């Protein structure tokens, strides 16, 4: 018997059947003797439709009203879920983020949670209710409705689990957990049983769309363990926790893929202070975010500087940089789309040598050319031709033995 927070994403509550399934699971959890807090997203597509509608009304809707509008998606879903529970003989109430005591700063569309006062949730739990909280939203100190950034219902669930000192937090979604690679690309990708917060964070940054990054960051900061699992099937999912000692035994936990990247190279950049600064200030002033950056060592007084960015921001970056090339005395700029990023992620890399060589060798044997390389303590990322990404993923996944189910049977 304990307190369980269950979060259901937009696809899990996407239609009436899905909502009934969610209600049944909430009630079954309650009847098994637990206190239950549910956090729900808006029905699939609703948030996007509201955004579209707002843009039809105004080219630049004010962010305050955007938040007031988008929060209705989750409010509707939470009311429907509470109704569905009540319709099958349970006892549930829905709460908006504000009523649930979620207080945020006033930064509309990407507010940060400053604290949670779960008094009302606790009272309702004590009265035996299943409490259904609208995800993705809170209230600023000034009383305005705020939202927590796209995918923010994950953050609501993790933050509530921390504030309520929940015994467990379950993130229900349309896949049965976190996988060693995208199963659509690598058919023998396997579900990961256990993963460290840090690995999940790196994977999110490397293109794996599992959970909102901010939610994982919050979980890490406050030591919230959680499970990502399927709302369709009743099978154990992936458990994300703070790092445990035996987790380093697995060298590479997963291969993450990110498509739709572009690569810019400025050749013959004079090797003197200030050049890189000028290049990247122009880019950041336009709010373009850059991903990988690599610069060659200079032997001849000039260096080549490359970086990647999303292909949607490619045109603007190219336009801004073209005049700068001659201004700083560089030789030329080449820029291409059609590249992608492949990353291997695992905290085991800290204590095992040879990960880079194994990755580069397997790509070489497969005839995949590596265009850029970057590393962090627990990640090695390469940029390859997008047309070769799937094959690169398959050989990398095999080279690191990831098709074997990750289980406690590992040494």
* Interface with Mg ion (CB under 5 A): 10, 41
- From Mg ion, ligand ASP, none, interface partner of 237 (C-beta below 5 to 8 A by class): none
Do 137 and 147 touch, CB atoms closer than 8 A? yes
* Region near ligand ASP per CB under 6 A, out of 148-156, 221-229, 346-354, 356-364: 148-156
Give how far the C-alpha of residue 291 lies from the chain's centroid of Cα atoms, to the nearest Å.
16
Instruction: Kindly state whether residue 153 participates in binding ligand ASP, applying the rule CB under 6 A.
Output: yes
Strands 137-140 and 302-310: unpaired
Q: DSSP states of 30-72 as a string?
A: HHTT-EEEEEEPPPTTHHHHHHHHHHHH-SS--HHHHHHHHHH
Closest CB to Mg ion among 10 and 138?
Answer: 10
Do 239 and 195 touch, CB atoms closer than 8 A? yes
Locus of tokens 């094959």: 391
Q: Give the nearest distance from C-beta 173 to ligand ASP in angstroms.
A: 10
Judged on CB neighbours under 10 Å (0-12, 13-18, 19+), 281 is exposed
Nearest to 204 by CA among 196, 194, 212: 212
Closest CB to ligand ASP among 109 and 122?
Answer: 109
- From Mg ion, ligand ASP, none, interface partner of 309 (C-beta below 5 to 8 A by class): none
Q: Where are the alpha helices (DSSP H) in 206-349?
A: 213-222, 275-285, 314-327
Closest CB to ligand ASP among 42 and 163?
Answer: 42
Instruction: Kindly state whether residue 152 participates in binding ligand ASP, applying the rule CB under 6 A.
Output: yes
Looking only at residues 55 through 74 of this chain, which bind ligand ASP when binding is defined by CB under 6 A? 73
Do 114 and 60 touch, CB atoms closer than 8 A? no
Please give the Cα distance from 411 to 403 (Å, whole number).
16
- From Mg ion, ligand ASP, none, interface partner of 205 (C-beta below 5 to 8 A by class): none
Please give the Cα distance from 26 to 33 (Å, whole number).
11
Instruction: Kindly state whether residue 10 participates in binding ligand ASP, applying the rule CB under 6 A.
Output: yes
Instruction: Kindly state whether residue 346 participates in binding ligand ASP, applying the rule CB under 6 A.
Output: no
* Region near ligand ASP per CB under 6 A, out of 39-47, 162-170, 223-231, 232-240: 39-47
Looking only at residues 84 through 103 of this chain, which bind ligand ASP when binding is defined by CB under 6 A? none
CA distances from 202 to 59, 209, 270 (A): 35, 11, 33
Give how far the C-alpha of residue 61 lies from the chain's centroid of Cα atoms, to the nearest Å.
26
Nearest to 264 by CA among 287, 290, 282, 303: 290
- From Mg ion, ligand ASP, none, interface partner of 97 (C-beta below 5 to 8 A by class): none
Instruction: Kindly state whether residue 75 participates in binding ligand ASP, applying the rule CB under 6 A.
Output: no
What are the residues facing 103 on neighbouring strands? 115, 139
Q: Give the nearest distance from C-beta 275 to ligand ASP in angstroms.
A: 39
Instruction: Kindly state whether residue 41 participates in binding ligand ASP, applying the rule CB under 6 A.
Output: yes
Closest CB to ligand ASP among 43 and 269?
Answer: 43
Q: Which of 6, 11, 29, 47 contacts ligand ASP by CB under 6 A?
A: 47
Residue number with the smallest Cβ distance to Mg ion:
10
From residue 98 to residue 137, the character string flagging contacts with ligand ASP as x (rule: CB under 6 A) and all else as - is: -------------------------------------xx-
- From ligand ASP, Mg ion, none, interface partner of 136 (C-beta below 5 to 8 A by class): ligand ASP
* Region near ligand ASP per CB under 6 A, out of 116-124, 146-154, 169-177, 270-278: 146-154
Q: Where are the alpha helices (DSSP H) in 88-233?
A: 119-126, 153-163, 197-205, 213-222
Do 93 and 132 touch, CB atoms closer than 8 A? yes
Binding site for ligand ASP (CB under 6 A): 10, 41-42, 47, 73, 135-136, 150-153
């Amino acid at each position: 018997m304990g307190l369980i927070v269950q979060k259901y994403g937009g696809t899990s509550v996407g239609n009436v059947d899905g909502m009934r399934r969610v209600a049944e699971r909430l009630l079954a959890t309650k009847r098994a003797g637990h206190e239950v807090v549910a956090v729900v997203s808006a029905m699939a597509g609703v948030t996007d439709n509201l955004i579209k509608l707002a843009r039809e009304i105004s080219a630049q809707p004010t962010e305050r009203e955007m938040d007031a509008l988008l929060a209705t998606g989750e409010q509707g879903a939470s009311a429907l879920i509470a109704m569905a529970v009540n319709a099958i003989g349970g006892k549930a109430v829905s709460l908006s983020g504000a009523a649930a005591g979620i207080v945020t700063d006033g930064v509309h569309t990407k507010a940060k949670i400053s604290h949670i006062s779960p008094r009302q949730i606790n009272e309702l739990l004590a009265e035996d209710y299943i409490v259904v909280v609208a995800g993705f939203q809170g209230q600023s100190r000034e009383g305005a409705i705020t939202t927590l950034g796209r995918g923010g219902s994950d953050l609501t669930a993790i933050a509530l689990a921390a504030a309520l000192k929940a015994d467990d937090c379950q993130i229900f979604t349309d896949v049965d957990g976190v996988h060693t690679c995208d199963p659509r690309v690598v058919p023998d990708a396997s579900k990961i049983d256990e993963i460290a917060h840090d690995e999940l964070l790196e994977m999110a940054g490397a293109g794996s769309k599992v959970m909102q990054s901010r939610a994982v960051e919050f979980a890490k900061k406050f030591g919230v363990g959680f499970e990502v699992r399927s709302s369709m099937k009743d099978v154990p999912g992936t458990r994300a926790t703070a790092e445990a000692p035996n987790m380093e035994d697995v060298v590479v936990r997963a291969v993450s893929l990110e498509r739709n990247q572009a690569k810019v190279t400025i050749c013959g950049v004079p090797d003197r202070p200030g050049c890189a600064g000028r290049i990247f200030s122009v880019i950041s002033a336009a709010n373009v975010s850059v991903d990988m950056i690599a610069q060659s060592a200079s032997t001849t007084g000039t260096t080549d500087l490359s970086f990647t960015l999303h292909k949607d921001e490619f045109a603007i970056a190219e336009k801004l940089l073209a005049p700068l090339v001659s201004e700083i005395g560089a030789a030329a700029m080449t820029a291409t789309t059609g590249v992608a990023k492949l990353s291997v992620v695992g905290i085991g890399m800290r204590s095992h040598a040879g990960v880079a060589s194994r990755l580069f060798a397997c790509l070489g044997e497969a005839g995949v050319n590596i265009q850029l390389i970057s590393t962090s303590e627990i990640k090695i990322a390469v940029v390859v031709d997008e047309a070769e990404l799937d094959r690169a993923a398959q050989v990398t996944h095999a080279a690191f033995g990831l098709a074997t189910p990750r289980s406690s049977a590992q040494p």
